[in-house]
Amino acid sequence: MDLLLEIAQQVINGLVIGGIYTLMALGMTMIFGILDQTNFAHGELYMLGAYAAFFFSMVLGIPYLVSVCLAILVGVLLGLMYEWLIFRPVRGKDPLNAVIASLGASIFIWNAALLVFGGAPREIPTPFLGEKVNLLGVSLNVQRLLALAVTIGIILALYWWIGKSRLGRAMRATAQNREVAALMGIKIGRVAELVFATGGALAALGGALVGPIFLLQPSMGLLAVGKAFIVVIVGGMGSVLGAIYTGFGLGVLESLTVGFLSSAYRDVISFAILILVLWVRPQGLFGRTGERGG
């Protein structure tokens, strides 16, 4: 019974982490699926989202939940900046140019953050961290539950939005064929702005939600982007559903590895899965060759 409880505990922790991976991976997979560009600087959106929440709640004294909303706004603005400064200038060129440009941006941003925020780990205060609820013997931290609930809600909303709304349809049309979509009167620049704003908002939300659980560090984006890449590729680049399943799956797997094996193996196992999938099924678990977008 104790073992079962331990497993349940680890699975829930894993779902929280997995939700954050999913939030990041969704933005990246949309950027890849719709615009054919790879964003290596996505982790910095997550990092800056966490620091934005820290700034609003800690420095300005705004309540935590309002700070999270403000952090999302910051994420939207940052996403737009990414589109204008990094990705639009290299659109239509060799796709590797976008990888290199965003890599440069990533190095620039996290080192600038190191200079501005300092290397010392920081903590976002939240009223929910200390509180625990007991569910069938499993003790659950309210902040983790909140993060999980918000993540799932947002993912469902996004899924509905891409599938049903007019804007979602424009995005999917662009993913299928950019030229024809443009001929049909879809403004590609607008779609790109929308995609990056959404990606920025999701990543910043992720950062603001885990900020209170883990410590904030300027380098936190680098590891997170590695994990999000694993999710995006294993799930199938451009596949929204694949990113959701794989994101939560990877989080649970990592959490179980830490709980029952050793934390040293956590990252090795994740990257080994990446290489294995690239080896036997390069299109990803949920991707079909030639398939793109949600």
Partner 1 sequence: MKTLPYRNLWKWVGTGLLLLIVPVLVRDPYYLHLINMSGLSILLAASLNLITGFLGELNLGHAAFYGVGAYASALLTMRLHLPFLLTLPVASLLAAFSGALIAYPCLRLKGPYFAIATFGYGEIVRLILHNWDTLTNGPLGLRGIPGPAGFINSKVEYYYFILTIVALSLLAIWRLLHSQLGRTFWAVRQDSVVLAEMIGINSTRVKVLAFMVAAYFAGVAGSLYAHYLRFISPDTFSFLESSTALAMVIVGGLGTFWGPVLGAILFTWLPELLRSVSEYRMIFYGLLLWGSITFLPQGISGFLESRIRKNCTTGVARDAHS
d(CA 212, CA 192): 32
- In whole angstroms, give the CA distance from residue 270 to residue 138: 27
Task: Determine the Cα angle at 42 with ends 252 and 107, to 5°.
Answer: 120
* Closest approach of partner 1 to the CB of residue 275, in Å: 6
Beta-carbon contacts of 181 under 8 Å, excluding residues fewer than 6 positions away, are: 170, 173, 174, 188, 191
At its nearest, how many Å lie between partner 1 and the CB of residue 88?
Answer: 10
Smallest distance, Å, CB 59 to partner 1? Answer: 22
Amino acid identity of residue 107, one-letter, is I
Nearer to partner 1, 104 or 137 (CB): 104
The residue ranges that bind partner 1 (CB under 8 A) are: 32, 38, 86, 89-90, 93, 95-97, 99-101, 103-109, 111-112, 115, 222, 226, 229-230, 233, 237, 264-265, 267-268, 271-272, 274-275, 278-279, 282
- Under 8 Å between Cβ of 71 and 210: no
**Rounded to the nearest whole angstrom, what is the least distance from the CB of residue 115 to partner 1 in the complex?**
6
Instruction: Kindly tell me which of 184 and 278 has the beta carbon lying closer to partner 1.
Output: 278
CB of 37 to partner 1, least distance (A): 8
Residue given tokens 């704003």 in the structure block:
197
96 vs 157, which CB is nearer to partner 1?
96
SS3 of residue 238 by DSSP: coil
